[in-house]
Amino acid sequence: MRKVRIEESLFEKFPSFKRGIIMVKNIDNAKENVEIQKLLEKQIELRGKEDNLEHDFVREWDNVHRKFNSNPNKYPPSVKSLLKRVQKGNSIPFINSAVALFNYISLKYFIPCGGDDFDSIKGNAVLGFATGEEKFVAIGKEKTETPDKGEVIYYDDESLNVMCRKWNWRNGKFSIITENSKRIVINLDGVGPISEEYIKEARDEMVSLLRTFCGAEITVDLLNKEKMETIIPF
């Protein structure tokens, strides 16, 4: 059985890290959903009226990036990018139901939230430090890049293809979630002052929405320094 795994070395540097996991199969991942769109638009409107770039949770991700030598202003964590976008009054396109829900949860809870089409992944999905041998092609790009040695990446340990660079900065093309995706694994990340209970709350709301609007079959877990891996049940 394949796994989602977090390398022990990552917890040595970031002992407070925790990751909510949602494992989804048989999802109806429509390109349009009026109810999800309403939820997302309401959250965009709310956050667009606020200045949350100095929120404790957002600032903590800046600190995390600096600790693995990434500039959070040049390579902003995903939650920071979303908040910047809505504060400027820019819209967020509705790609598909799952991606729209990622954005909704991320804006509501001030946490990075993302996922991957697991049918595109050959081995285990691993969060850890890059050796410099891995391969990355960004969404919308064709050029293959190599992550910096020591950079935190989320990658396929068989193909060495990278799903996400700089922890939560930019997603890879090969595991992109589309309306045809049926089996996906979703991550909701917390570090520093974010409690496990808070991550579970965000995770469980996401689960409820996926079941309600996408008819998904779901298994959940939570990873931390005491539990560094979980088996994918499909």
Is residue 93 a contact partner of residue 85, using CB atoms and an 8 Å limit? no
CB-CB contact of 130 with 150 (8 Å) = yes
* CATH number belonging to domain 3-231: 3.50.40.10
Query: What residues in the chain have per-residue pLDDT under 50?
Result: none
pLDDT of residue 100: 98
Q: How much is the pTM?
A: 0.97
pLDDT at 18: 98
Please give the pLDDT value at position 155.
98
Bridge pairing between strands 183-190 and 18-25: antiparallel
**CB-based contact 18:187 (threshold 8 Å):** no
pLDDT given for residue 143 in this prediction? 96
pLDDT, tens digit, 9 for 90 and up, residues 162-217: 999 999 999 999 999 999 999 999 999 999 999 999 999 999 999 999 999 999 99
The whole-number pLDDT of residue 93 equals: 94
The neighbouring-strand residues paired with 154 are 127, 164
Half-sphere exposure of 154 (CA within 13 A, CB side): 25
At residue 94, the pLDDT reads 97
What residue spans define the domains of the chain? 3-231
